[in-house]
Amino acid sequence: MRPGTRLGRYCVVRRIGGGGMAELYLARLDGPNRFVKPVALKLMHAHLTDTPEFVGMFMREARIAASLQHPQIVQVLDVGEYDGEYFLALEYVHGLDLRRVLAERRGVPLPLGAALRIVIDIATALHHAHSLCDGSGRPLGIVHRDVSPSNILIAYDGAVKLTDFGIAHMTEQTHVTATGALKGKPGYMSPEQCLQENIDARSDVFALGVVLYELTTGRAAFPGDMIATMNRILDGRYTAPGQLVRGYPPALASIVARALAPQAEQRFPSAAALRAALEGFARQQPGLDTGTEGLVALLTARFGAAPQPDLDTPALTVVMPTTVVDAVSPMLVPANGATVVERARPRHHRLGVGALGVLAGGLLGWQIARAGGAPAAMPQPVDAATAPHVAEATAPARAVADAAQRPSSSAPTPAHAAATPTTDATAVAPLAAAPVIAAGLGGVTPTAAATPRRIKRPRAKRRVGAPTPTPTATPTRSADAMLPRSAR
């Protein structure tokens, strides 16, 4: 989605990241009197909107997260649908996810105080979610099922937050668990989750134990491909932290071992119990700082002091095809001062348009020809002996045509038409002579106001056996021949 795109009250600023189910964008919430607030827009992939299962998961995340009001949980501000796209408006955390922080460390463990601060805060958030009840006091049985570094956010001010309840489990849900689909990331799933058995809060305790192991050793607890990783999880096979980090505290190793126990009954019964164990260990370490100042120093030393995000968006560029117009219509001007960029059509588009123009012109000409009437009959030779009225009627018109072609001279010259056979008057006489021809054929006296019109003359009957008359040269008429007989 391009920067500047609007979804209701929200304006997209830039893309933050994405996953298999949704894309995450930094956006701006606009209000009256220049009120703006940065938010994170989580947009569901367009190709998943037609799948009821994924839409249900997306909406369930909104309902679950909206009921979780806690400082260590990313808040859901709004949920909606715009132009067929579902989205969540989430609290924007100005910081980084834990996965990126670990990648920048390149196998080096985090400072012990910072690692304990992160795990203690996430354990607090998980305990709040696990113990949440509905209005009647019944526990909702929420299990996150995807506790991993990518879903743990660390703000530049030291705040730690848990996000993405997209595949969270609830006691009353039936559809998603019935599908048998594997939910979660393989390296952080509990044994019962790998076996698709019933899960509870202790499954999230196992995942948080994996995170604790990775933060304090710099290594993944269960590396390998999916099958190898799941077998390691089921068997509880991982390298002891003391073998990876020299001087690893034995008390902390015991806490990790209990959190990663293959049997759920052997783990901490709740996230609150894990938090209490870590806080007790921290109090026993002299000079160990588990405050947020250690996280701030860690991020600043590696990433610098990050300013607040810039919420300004560039004007959207509307790409329009090149069009020749006499005047700009108000409908062609984009709103909000957007820039209009004209783009020439490809060559094959121009050829296609030209071919369509030629075809349209041909069809138009064919329709005009049909509207003009039937084609005129081919002229036939006229027998002057049998049709004297025709010859007499065409004489003035022929004389006018001869006079128009005769050069200006006092001596008469033979007309070129005299050497040709006598033909239909419509092929020789000008348009002005049409009334005369019509009068001679129809027996109607022509008038000056008569409107010319096309008259289909029947063909002259040919006599069977009679020889075809040979046309003879006709002497050139004088100027008096152009006048009617009554005026001679």
Would you please indicate which residues are annotated as catalytic (active-site) residues?
Answer: 146
- Residue 433's CB: how many other CB atoms inside 10 A? 22
**First and final C-alpha spacing in the chain:** 93
Residues 278, 283, 288, 293: is their CA dihedral positive or negative?
Answer: positive
Backbone torsions φ then ψ of 148, nearest 5 degrees: -155, 165
Classified as helix, coil or strand, 55 is: helix
As given in the structure block, the two tokens for residue 9 are 């009250």
Gap between the Cα atoms of 449 and 446, Å rounded: 9
Residue written as tokens 């989750």? 193
CB 21 within 8 A of CB 58: yes
Answer whether 65's CB lies under 8 Å from 140's CB: no
CB 41 within 8 A of CB 7: yes
Cα distance between residue 298 and residue 301, in whole Å: 5
SS3 38: strand
The answer for residues whose C-beta is within 8 angstroms of residue 415's C-beta and 6 or more apart is: 402, 405, 406, 476
